Amino acid sequence: MATVDNLKILKEGVLKVTGRLVDASNATLYATASLSEQELVCIYKPIAGERPLWDFSEGSLAYREYAAYLVSQTVGFNLVPLTVLRDGPYGEGMAQEWITIDETIDLAVFFSSDHPSLRAMALFDAIVNNTDRKIGHLLPLSPQVVYGCDHGVTFHVDDKLRTVLWQWAQDPFTEEEFTTLRKAASLLSGELGALLSPLLTQEEIAATQLRTSRLIAEGTFPLPNPDWPAVPWPAF
């Protein structure tokens, strides 16, 4: 039997909820997507299960999760697991491929290391204005490959970067990082901006473009905003 790719399974497969991650502040459901006798384990976050936040528009977190995935894939970070928007047992929401982490890696130590994937994550977070990069949102598949999850509170128009990855603050960008930022800036004014337009407001897309241009102009990783808590709480 021909193999159906994971995107098709996640987007079109029958979604069955089998559990819940009880520590999550919003409804985060453990599920399987099944199609053509193939199955993919995933996380399903229905919009109906989102708790209102004072600084983000109601019912927007799933769209921000998908927007973060699009930025990651289109720019070439490849740091966010396969993510789609789709209907499910509890209505429309975000579905994301489940990542089985390497449990031999001690996250409490790993998050503060000078790891290339973590540095890339810090740059990605600066672009999308991630306000909740916790230690537990890092998903190492191996010592070489790391993903990040939980990108629902991103793309705010105000500077709200809040992360545990501050070890490169004010470090100069490498030429490769400058290339990535210039690529992001170009895509945001064209193809990527168009992809984000159904998911974010025009003001949020413009703010993302401005942040990226500012990063290029300043040439270094950002410093914490003195008017905003620098690290999410709890940090894990």
| Domain of residue 114, CATH code | 1.10.510
Residue 194 counted as domain residue: yes
Whether 78 contacts 71, CB under 8 Å: no
What is the helix, strand, coil percentage profile of the chain, to 5?
A: 35, 20, 45
| C-alpha to C-alpha distance for 214 and 210, rounded to whole angstroms | 6
Residue 235 counted as domain residue: no
Q: What's the total number of domains in the chain?
A: 1
Q: Residue 144, Cβ neighbours under 10 Å: how many?
A: 10
Q: What is the pLDDT along the chain (236 residues), one digit of tens a residue?
A: 345 699 999 999 999 999 998 888 889 999 999 999 999 999 999 999 999 999 999 999 999 999 999 999 999 999 999 999 999 999 999 999 999 999 999 999 999 999 999 999 999 999 999 999 999 999 999 888 999 999 999 999 999 999 999 999 999 999 999 999 999 999 999 999 999 999 999 999 999 999 999 999 999 999 998 888 999 999 99
Residue 78 counted as domain residue: yes
Residue 233 counted as domain residue: no
pTM, entire model = 0.96
Residue 1 counted as domain residue: no
| C-alpha to C-alpha distance for 236 and 234, rounded to whole angstroms | 5
Domain that holds residue 66: 6-218
